[in-house]
Every structure is written in C-alpha cells, then in structure tokens.
Structure 1
Amino acid sequence: MTATAPATTARTTAPAPSRLRRLAGAFTWTRLAALLIALFVAAPLYWMAVSSLKGLDEVGANPPTLWPDRITFDNYREAFAENNFGTYLLNSVLVSIVATILVLGLSSFAGYALARLPLRGKAPIMVALLMISLFPTIALAAPLFLLMRELGWLNSYQGLILVYTALNVPFAIWILRNFFLGIPKEMEEVAWVDGASPVRTVLFVILPQARPGMFTAAIFTFTACWTEFLIALTLNTADRYRTMPVGVALFGSQFTIPYGTIFAAATVSVLPIALLVLIFRRAVVSGLTAGAVKG
C-alpha cells in the first residue's frame, strides 16, 4: 500500500486591479508627455522644412499655411547657385570632421590616463577641464584673434581646426574618462600578459570596448563644430573660408532678407546632425548612461 503525498501547487498572486490601473495610467501619461515634447521639438523643424519649399509671397503670407500651395525648389537653387552655400557647407564639413578626429585622438589617451594611471592631482585636473569646457566663448574671441594674427592663421582652415580642437577636448575627456572607468581592468592585464604594449592595449583592447563612448564624444564634438558661429566669424572673414553658420547669417542685403533661402540652407545644415543622431542613437544613449552611472 503506497501513500501518495499531497500535491503542492504554487500560488501566484496577481497584481490588484487598482495597481494595474495605476500602472496603465502612469504609462499612458508618460507616453503622452513624451509625445508632447517630441511635437514641441519637431514643430520648428517642420516649419523650417515646409517654408523652404514655399515661394517668396507664401513665406510671409498671413495667415500662414501649414503646407505650400505650390512646391518650389527655387530657394535651394538660390542658396547654392547665388549665395555660395556649397562652399560654406564644404568648409564646415572639412573643419568639423578634422577637428572631431583630432579631439577623439587626444581625448582617448588623456581620458585613459585619468581613468587608469596612478597620477597625482586627478581631481584638480578634472575640475580644471570642467571649468575650461564651461568658459564662455565670447571671452576667448579677442585673444584667439590676436593669437591667430600673430601666427598668420587668420582666414585659414588650420586656425579654426586648432581652436575647435582645443575647445572640445575637455568635454570629450570627461565623457571618455567616465566610460573607461566602466571597462574591467582584467582585459588590460590579459593584454599585458600576452606582451602588448600600453599603446597597443589602448588601441586594440580598450577603444573597441569604449565604442559607445567614442560615438557619443564624436557626435557632440561634430555638432559643436558644425554649429559654432562666433569664433568662425571672428577668425575667418574671407568668403572662401567661411563656414556654414556664418555664411547663412550673411545671406541677403541691407534692405532684403531672403527668408525662403535661409530656410532652405538651414534645412540642409540640419540634415547631417539628424542623420548622425538617428543612425547612432543607441550608441549615444549607451555612452551617456554609462558615463552617468559609472563616473
């Protein structure tokens, strides 16, 4: 005669209906708030893009139209053919890309040194870098102008690239240093045991692991160089060396302001930044959250 043990059933307690309603309500309000913020941010961009497709009479129409009655690309033709916008755009691409590459190269090794090496005075160095990155640009315009004049680098690419590199290195060091702190030290120790030099370890072991942080620093640096106005206006006054923000600001004449042409040029200038953010959005979010949590 065999005794059968009573079967035990696991009980699962479901959340109370009131709790489910609260969670659903909070989720709905969160999505609604995100939607409102997205509309608030996207509305000026939509208006800029739509206005670039309108004729001159419709741009200033009252009441304004949400969509052009007749789509025209004359504003884009005037921006490139009559206002030299193509040269300004190429200048911005050249300066921004070269400055971003230099910033990543310098800040990678500096950030690694501040994160890993036993250096004295790390805290004062980080505070100094933060103060430099927050220093107002307008206070640097006159000294930089005098310095570049002495070097003979006014109206040149190298002068603007050097200044942009110096202005963006401190913030990039902050981002990369915080990200390097989250990389396990065991990976470096294994590389050292295999005979890798410190430089080779950084290039082939650490930097591949810090790819999200590199993308974050690169996008922030490129955006800062792409949109900078005051230093570019101060150092490069010749038309052939002007960057895109300065060139667009000088559209028009004393008596007329070509709003449609300005909208067209602004729409083209926003596209590279928008594409970078859309393509690398996951890497940017990962780099920012890693730095915030592990820094």
Structure 2
Amino acid sequence: MAATAGATRTKVGTWIGFIVILVWCLLPVVWILSLSFKGPGETAAGSPQFLPKDWTLQNYRDILGFGTVTPGQESTHKDFLDALRNSFGIAAIATVLSVIFATLAAYAIARLDFKGKRLVLSLALAIAMFPVVALVGPLFDLWRTLGLFNTWPGLIIPYMSFTLPLAIWTLSAFFREIPWEMEQAAQVDGATSWQAFRKVIVPLAAPGVFTAAILTFFFAWNEFVLAISLTSTTSSRTVPAQLSFFVGPDPFNPPYGLLATASVVVTVPIIIIVLLFQRKIVAGLTSGAVKG
C-alpha cells in the first residue's frame, strides 16, 4: 500500500510539474496570439485584458494584404511580404550552402588523420560562439566597399560564417560514429570514394544532416543584428529587421497588434518544419548516428 501511495504521489507530482512548465512556456505564445486578434483600441489601453473583447482579423488583413486594409497601412503588407520573401530566400540559401560545405569538411575531419584536428574543431566552435555584434562595424565598412551592403550575399556570407562551424562540429560527431567498415565494403564492391560517401555515408548520417540544417535555418530565420545593420531597404531586409520599422500613430503607441500578428505569421513556417521533420530532429539530437 505504501509503495502504491508513493507511486501515485510521484505520478501526480510529475503531472503537476509538467502542467506548470507547459503553462510557463505557452503563456507568452497565447498572449501574442491574443494580441493579434485585438484592435488598436484594446492594445492601446493601459491594462488590456487577456482575451480580446471584440475579435478581429484586421491585423492579418493589414499584414497579408487581403480584404480591406486600414488607412495608413497600405505599404505595411507589401514591406512585410518582401521581408518574408527575403527571409525565406536568404535562410534557404545559407542552409543549403552551410550543410553542403559542413558535410564535406566534417567527413574529412572524421576520416582523415592530420595534425591540428582538435585545434580546427575548437576554433570552429569558438567562431560559432563569437559575439555577432563585434563584427557589425567592420562588416558594415567592408560590405559598403565591396558593394555587398543591402544585398542577399551580404547577409548569406556572415550567416554562413556562424552556422558553418556549428554544423561542422555537429556533423563530425555523426561521421565518427559511422563504422569505417561500411565504407570499405562499398569500395570493395566497386564503388569509388565519392560514391561510397554519397550513397553510404551521407544516408547513414541523415539525422545529423537534418539537425545541422535545422539549426542553420533557425539562426538565419531569427537573426536580427546583422539583418538590421547590413541592410537599408526592403529589397534585402528580413522579417526580424522589418518588424522594427512597424510604427504606430506616435512613438508612444507602437502597433502591438501588427507586431504580434507578424510574429505569429513568421512562427508558422518554423512550426511546420518541426512537425514535418520532428522524427529526424529527435533522432539527430538523441541518437547521434548509426552505431557500429
């Protein structure tokens, strides 16, 4: 009886802790969702209530440009959609290039023996952890000189400089766990080194590749400091930077509803990606790779 009562208390305590953590994590998300359905009158109130009094989709109309747009917000949806396009393009290109280069580099680090291998990995991790704000000034001057300021490559290159080392570090651990004999067996069967790498090693390291790709995409999608410092127009400005240009009727009344709505719209692609690839992400974060 005592053991049963103890197990029951443990189970109840676990569920209470789970509920508390869930509420703590989801409360900001629910609040942003609530703000996105409130009109300017409610968001400008001194102490707005949690749920909207009058539910409205006007913020989504102003952001996405469908239906009747609020006067004065005609350019908001165009600027936001341009920024959304920039975010998708820049994040996708940075992710693809980083994963390709990181896969090749990580394979070489895992398979080849050379002096300074640990130093290379340590420097890669140190670069990934380097504060972004320290590079804004030099990059601003350099990019203006080279003509890369306010361009897609002007953001893709620095994004890769931070995501590539982290991807190399992640993928090198996966490649080390793949049995060397599998590659040798493929070569014995007539495959070249490149064929063995492409058809044997890369598929086995798929969880690690997906993990590196997700980390790279999330960084490029959410990055703000470089996006706001190295762009000047909506031709290359990404969504996080564009949100800082959302202005209300005066400096003391920011458009909280539009900001919340834009945050919801920007979060949707991330949720879709996680739901589509959650198994591979979990496998990549937990198992590491195929064990020999």
TM-score calculated relative to the size of structure 2: 0.88
Contact kept in structure 2, 1:91 and 1:243, CA below 8 Å: yes
In the TM superposition, residue 292 of structure 1 has moved relative to its aligned partner by 10
Distance across 2 between alignment mates of 1:149 and 1:62:
44
The amino acid of 1:40's aligned partner reads W
Distance across 2 between alignment mates of 1:223 and 1:76:
24
**2:181 aligned residue (177, 181, 186):** 186
- Taking a change above 3 Å as real, the CA distance of residues 24 and 184 of structure 1, as seen in their structure-2 partners, is farther
1:57 aligns with 2:54: no
**Counterpart in 1 of 2:139?**
144
Distance across 2 between alignment mates of 1:171 and 1:57:
45
- 29-38 vs 152-161, which moves further: 29-38
Contact kept in structure 2, 1:179 and 1:210, CA below 8 Å: yes
How big is each residue's C-alpha offset from its partner over 1:52-83, in whole Å with a ceiling of 9 and x where there is no partner?
01111122445533322222111122223431
The alignment of Structure 1 onto Structure 2 pairs a total of residues equal to 278
What RMSD, in angstroms, separates the aligned Cα atoms of the two structures?
Answer: 2.1
1:213 aligns with 2:208: yes
Contact kept in structure 2, 1:179 and 1:290, CA below 8 Å: no
| Structure 1: tracts of 5 or more residues without a match | 1-16
Larger radius of gyration: 1
**1:130 aligned residue (120, 125, 130):** 125
- 106-115 vs 34-43, which moves further: 34-43
Distance across 2 between alignment mates of 1:162 and 1:24:
55
Contact kept in structure 2, 1:178 and 1:290, CA below 8 Å: no
Contact kept in structure 2, 1:175 and 1:291, CA below 8 Å: no
Q: Which runs of 4+ in 1 moved over 6 A?
A: none
- 22-31 vs 178-187, which moves further: 22-31
Aligned to 2:287, what secondary structure does the other structure show? helix
In the TM superposition, residue 146 of structure 1 has moved relative to its aligned partner by 2.1
The amino acid of 1:209's aligned partner reads L
How big is each residue's C-alpha offset from its partner over 1:241-265, in whole Å with a ceiling of 9 and x where there is no partner?
2110010111005534111111111
The amino acid of 1:216's aligned partner reads T
| Structure 2: tracts of 5 or more residues without a match | 66-73
Contact kept in structure 1, 2:205 and 2:290, CA below 8 Å: no
- 39-48 vs 179-188, which moves further: 179-188
- Taking a change above 3 Å as real, the CA distance of residues 194 and 165 of structure 1, as seen in their structure-2 partners, is same
Distance across 2 between alignment mates of 1:27 and 1:237:
55
**Counterpart in 2 of 1:162?**
157
Aligned to 2:235, what secondary structure does the other structure show? helix
Matches within 5 A, 1:82-121: 82=74, 83=76, 84-121=79-116
- Taking a change above 3 Å as real, the CA distance of residues 293 and 45 of structure 1, as seen in their structure-2 partners, is farther
**Counterpart in 1 of 2:70?**
none
Contact kept in structure 1, 2:155 and 2:230, CA below 8 Å: yes
Distance across 2 between alignment mates of 1:128 and 1:202:
26
Aligned to 1:239, what secondary structure does the other structure show? coil
The amino acid of 2:33's aligned partner reads A
- Taking a change above 3 Å as real, the CA distance of residues 229 and 287 of structure 1, as seen in their structure-2 partners, is same
Aligned to 2:217, what secondary structure does the other structure show? helix
Distance across 1 between alignment mates of 2:124 and 2:40:
48
TM-score calculated relative to the size of structure 1: 0.87
Distance across 1 between alignment mates of 2:290 and 2:11:
24
**Counterpart in 2 of 1:268?**
265
In the TM superposition, residue 19 of structure 1 has moved relative to its aligned partner by 4.3
- Taking a change above 3 Å as real, the CA distance of residues 50 and 168 of structure 1, as seen in their structure-2 partners, is same
Distance across 2 between alignment mates of 1:235 and 1:63:
37
Contact kept in structure 1, 2:98 and 2:163, CA below 8 Å: yes
Percent of paired sites with the same residue: 38
Contact kept in structure 2, 1:104 and 1:218, CA below 8 Å: yes
